[in-house]
Structure 1
C-alpha cells in the first residue's frame, strides 16, 4: 500500500493545477483483470475515477491531445493504481478516445499461478486506453472503455499485463 500512497501524492502534485483547466470528470465501474489467458491472477470489479483536461494547444504538432489522470481502486483489495497521460478524441456526438499514459500500482511484487509467474513485473507500467462514447447532451456522455497495464518488457522480463473493461459516466465541467 506504500507505493499507492506515494503514487497518489505524486499524482496530486502533478495535477494540482488541473481543476482550473479540467474539461471533464468521469466515474466508472470496470471488470478487473479480464484477460482470458491462464496467467489471470486477479478478479472482481474496480471503481475508476478520472479527469480529462482541455486540449493542449502547445502540443498542436501531435494533434492537441488532452491530459488525463485516473485513479483505480479494486473492490476486492487487489491491484490499485494511478495513471496520467494524454488522450486524443475523434468525433463529437459519437466519438472515439485513444490514450496513452504511465501508471504506478500497488500489486504484488511476485505472484505465481500453476507454477508460472503472473505478476505485472514492474511497479511502473504503460497505460494504453481505448474508449467509445456517446455524448448524451452538452454535459453528459457515456463511454465503454478498455484499459491495459503493461511495461512491454522494458523494465523486466516478466510482463503479463492486465486488462480492465467497463462503463463510465462523463461529465463536462464547462
Structure 2
C-alpha cells in the first residue's frame, strides 16, 4: 500500500504541475462499507477508514465552479480494503459549498470476479475502480473548511457482471495553503 500511495502521488504531481504547496491538505474519518442501494452487498467489511490527501489549486472554471485535481489514500482500521485515488473535483459555492468529484482508485481488496462465501472481503471484480464522491462543506476559518462526504468505489460492470461496490461516509477537514 505504501508503494501504491507513493506511485499515486507521483502520478498526480506529473499530471498536475504547479507550485509545490498550492491547494490544500485534507484528512478525515469514514465509516467503511456503509450499506446503501449502490453497494449491492458491500456491507461485509467494517472498520473505520483514515483518509489523507491533497487537493491542488484551481485548474479551470466549470459551470461557475472551480475544478481541482486531488489525490488521497484511505487506510482501513480493520485490515479490510484500503485504497488510493486520483481525480478531479469541482467546488460550487464559498461559505457553504457542494463538491462533487470523479476519480480512479486502486485497492488492496479482492479483485475476484465471483462470489466466494468463505471470503470476508468484498470481491470487486477489478483492481482498478471508479471513485465518484460528493461532499457538502462549510468554510469555518479563512484557510480551514469542514466537509461531510460520501465516497463510492466500483467498476460500473465494465470488467464483469459482478460489481458489489462499497460506500464510505465520513467527515474531513481541509487546510488551504
After TM superposition, give the deviation of residue 46 of structure 1 in Å: 0.5
**Which residue of structure 1 lines up, in the alignment, with residue 84 of structure 2?**
82
- In the alignment, is the contact (CA less than 8 A) between 1:39 and 1:113 conserved in 2? no
- In the alignment, is the contact (CA less than 8 A) between 2:28 and 2:51 conserved in 1? yes
Structure 2 unmatched ranges of 5 or more = none
After TM superposition, give the deviation of residue 76 of structure 1 in Å: 0.8
After TM superposition, give the deviation of residue 38 of structure 1 in Å: 4.2
- In the alignment, is the contact (CA less than 8 A) between 2:33 and 2:42 conserved in 1? no
What TM-score does the superposition give when structure 2 sets the normalisation length? 0.84
Render the CA deviation track for 1:13-62: whole Å, top value 9, x for unaligned. Answer: 213456625311111000001015545220110100111111113x7699
After TM superposition, give the deviation of residue 6 of structure 1 in Å: 4.7
Quick one: distance in 2 between partners of 1:62 and 1:6? 37
After TM superposition, give the deviation of residue 7 of structure 1 in Å: 2.5
Structure with the bigger percentage of helix: 1
Structure 1 unmatched ranges of 5 or more = none
- In the alignment, is the contact (CA less than 8 A) between 1:79 and 1:105 conserved in 2? yes
- In the alignment, is the contact (CA less than 8 A) between 2:64 and 2:92 conserved in 1? no
Aligned length: 168
Paired residue secondary structure (1:127): strand
**Which residue of structure 2 lines up, in the alignment, with residue 154 of structure 1?**
158
Q: CA RMSD in A?
A: 2.5
Quick one: distance in 1 between partners of 2:144 and 2:64? 27
Query: Which deviates more from structure 2 when the two are superposed, residues 28-37 or residues 66-75?
Result: 28-37
After TM superposition, give the deviation of residue 77 of structure 1 in Å: 0.9
Matched, 1:51 2:75: no
Query: Which deviates more from structure 2 when the two are superposed, residues 103-112 or residues 67-76?
Result: 103-112
Query: Which deviates more from structure 2 when the two are superposed, residues 135-144 or residues 103-112?
Result: 103-112
What TM-score does the superposition give when structure 1 sets the normalisation length? 0.86
**Which residue of structure 2 lines up, in the alignment, with residue 106 of structure 1?**
108
